[in-house]
Structure 1
Amino acid sequence: MSMKKWAATFAAALAFAGAAHAQQFFRIGTGGTAGTYYPVGGMIANAVSQPGKIVATAQSSNGSLANVNAIAGGSLEAGMTQSDVATWAYTGTGAFEGKPKVPDLRLIANLYPESIHLVVKKNSGIKSVADLKGKRVALDEPGSGTLIDARMVLAAYGVKESDIKPDYIKPNQAGDKLKDGSLDAFFFVGGAPAGAIAELASSGVGIELVPLGGPQAQALLKSSPWFAVDHIPAGTYKDVAAVDTLAVGAQLVTSAKVPADTVYQITKSMYSEATQKTLAAGHAKGKFITKENAVKGAGIPFHPGAEKFYKEAGLIK
């Protein structure tokens, strides 16, 4: 073999070795820093990073809708989203009605239940969703799953957006406004305990959670099967009584374009014994992130890499 030919072969072999061991960047979109996605996404990113192989990072974002759109556009490899938003994106329904659907959206795992919180001041007189008429209510930012669900809840209880004085702000800003009296109530969909609400409850301002129950909640469960009955126990937030509410699933989603091996490695390390311990110790919702819960309530197809892991674990056929 001539020297030139040998050099070319050697260079090709090096390039191939480099490609085989190239670092995979895996950016995970989370949510606002006061919610639950942000700390949980950060824990997952740390746990699944493999030096020299996979560099996972968690990024704060506007939430579910923003993450799904960023995955579709290729600026994120993965993201956290509500199960309803993922289903709508994939099927082009709900919040994605009349918009391009996201056929490449794939599920890595269902993570934990996200409770619908409707927060009011103690003794506000707001005992049900219907009592919000004429009140100043924060519904979260455009791009968040909370905004979509808040609208669905209001509609289920016969409250139009024009019946309230809406504000489109994140829960930490809403908490500040509730505290200073410039807001009557706010919605937040997230794993309990959510940072912004925990902070508000501990500040001594005195808050209550409004229950979501009755025939209106039953009708919502029927028409929107991604909702589930949920219960926030007493003491989840300081001096706040137990409340029955509804929840959606928090999911980790990705694109079909992400290599199967990368997603397989990530899924496998998410459910390793070490990661499971870290997640359970690191956040109240971490103990729900089990491989058994991972395959529940999947409204969209699994990514082949995740599917391979769940098949090996005997969780799906």
Structure 2
Amino acid sequence: MKKRGMLLTVALVLIISLILVGCGGGGGATTDGGSGGGGGGTQELLFATGGTAGTYYPLGGAIASVWNENIEGVNVTIQPSGASVENLRLLDSRDADIVMAMNNIADDAWKGVGSFDGQVVQGFKAVGVVYPEIIQGVGLVEKGVLTIEDQAGKTVAGGPPGSGTAATTPHIFSAYGLADGDMTVVNDTFGDAVDKMKDGHLDAAWNVLGAPASAIVDLLTTKEIAFLEIKGDALTQLQADFPLVAPHVIPAGTYNFKGTDYPDIHTIALQAVLYVRDDMDEDTVYNLVKFMYEKNADITKSHATGSQILLENALNGITTDFHAGAIKYYEEKGMM
């Protein structure tokens, strides 16, 4: 009986130990007893991106594939989301491990202003710039929406809830003298907005996208659109209010309608930045940085925006703290 009791006690201790091991660790779940810093297991990381019709989601998938192919012991899974604002909250709540977000939205989160008014969100660290975030607004020519001012009295998609687009467009509209109530603003995803524009149920739409954006190219197969440019005095006012905003020109020929190229399109850009949980281990983040920049040619094979993932732009416009793993990589490259 004593021997049987001792065996039961040992078995109970082993079970409790296994449970405790399974509950431990941070910076992503692990399987096979592994940990974020190695040890033979697989570290499961969740990468929150954006809407499926935007740039974040497909580009995030291309980046994740490169990481999974090159970083031993790491498996990155992407998921769609409401983009920047939601993504940073997901990092802070530990419901995501990696995200893409606009640099101005991260700056707001760090300070507890804008979409984060009254709530400082700092549970994340910067990894590096992914690509320029180009604000693109389009209007249906058949509805008479040729400029930003023409949106008055129209129905406009200003960006989905929790996105950097939705946090930015009100300021753009204000710079052009459009106040709340001057138009009907809906919060469709850009994919849904494009579908509604095809059907004539929406007059204009905005999103933060790489160029050319596949959703806009798709819209141009059936509808003539005008690109709603941001320039002149309104741009000057916008830059005074938001110093992180920079003028951006989408080159002539990027888009065309029935074989006719659009000329240069004047708009603004911010930066799409990769952020991670602030408690992610240094080695993992080092490898995320390394392979995102050093394997950008492989990323480009899956998504054209990969060509814009350039090491020389990695630090541009980032005002929040960098992760130690990223700092280590940049120091090796003589950038910090």
TM-score (norm: length of structure 2): 0.84
Q: Secondary structure at the match of 1:212?
A: coil
For 2:134, which of 98, 101, 115 is the aligned residue? Answer: 115
What is the CA distance between 1:281 and its match in structure 2?
3.4
Are residues 89 and 217 of structure 1, via their aligned partners in 2, closer, same or farther at CA, if it must alter by over 3 Å?
same
Partners of 2:74 and 2:256 in 1: CA distance: 39
1:220 equivalent in structure 2:
238
Deviations 1:152-209 (A, max 9, x none): 10111111121101111011111121122221111111111222112111x2311121
Deviations 1:275-311 (A, max 9, x none): 1211233323211101111111112111110110011
What is the CA distance between 1:78 and its match in structure 2?
1.0
Partners of 1:270 and 1:75 in 2: CA distance: 22
Runs (5+) with no aligned partner, structure 2: 1-12, 22-31
Q: Secondary structure at the match of 1:110?
A: strand
Q: Secondary structure at the match of 1:111?
A: strand
Deviations 1:231-266 (A, max 9, x none): 112232232333100111101111211111110111
Equivalent residues in 2 for 1:103-142, closer than 5 Å: 103-122=122-141, 124-142=143-161
1:151 equivalent in structure 2:
170
Partners of 2:156 and 2:180 in 1: CA distance: 10
What is the CA distance between 1:66 and its match in structure 2?
1.2
Is the CA contact (8 Å cut-off) linking 1:24 and 1:262 kept in structure 2? no
Partners of 1:309 and 1:287 in 2: CA distance: 20
Partners of 1:71 and 1:37 in 2: CA distance: 16
1:191 equivalent in structure 2:
210
State whether structure 2 residue 123 is matched by structure 1 residue 74.
no
2:191 equivalent in structure 1:
172
Q: Secondary structure at the match of 2:173?
A: helix
Partners of 2:71 and 2:59 in 1: CA distance: 20
2:255 equivalent in structure 1:
237
Q: Which runs of 4+ in 1 moved over 3 A?
A: 15-19
- In the alignment of these two chains, the number of paired residues is 301
Comparing 44-53 and 128-137, the one that deviates more: 44-53
Deviations 1:14-57 (A, max 9, x none): x9985523322221111111100011101111111256511112
Partners of 1:154 and 1:61 in 2: CA distance: 25
Letter in 1 for 2:176: Y
1:97 equivalent in structure 2:
117
Partners of 1:280 and 1:45 in 2: CA distance: 12
Equivalent residues in 2 for 1:154-303, closer than 5 Å: 154-201=173-220, 203-239=221-257, 240-272=262-294, 275-303=295-323
Letter in 2 for 1:233: P
Q: Secondary structure at the match of 1:292?
A: helix
Partners of 2:33 and 2:63 in 1: CA distance: 28
Same amino acid, percent of matched pairs: 35
State whether structure 2 residue 108 is matched by structure 1 residue 88.
yes
Partners of 1:255 and 1:81 in 2: CA distance: 13
Q: Work out which of the two has the higher radius of gyration on C-alpha atoms and give 1 or 2.
A: 2
Partners of 1:129 and 1:205 in 2: CA distance: 18
Deviations 1:71-94 (A, max 9, x none): 111110010101111111111112
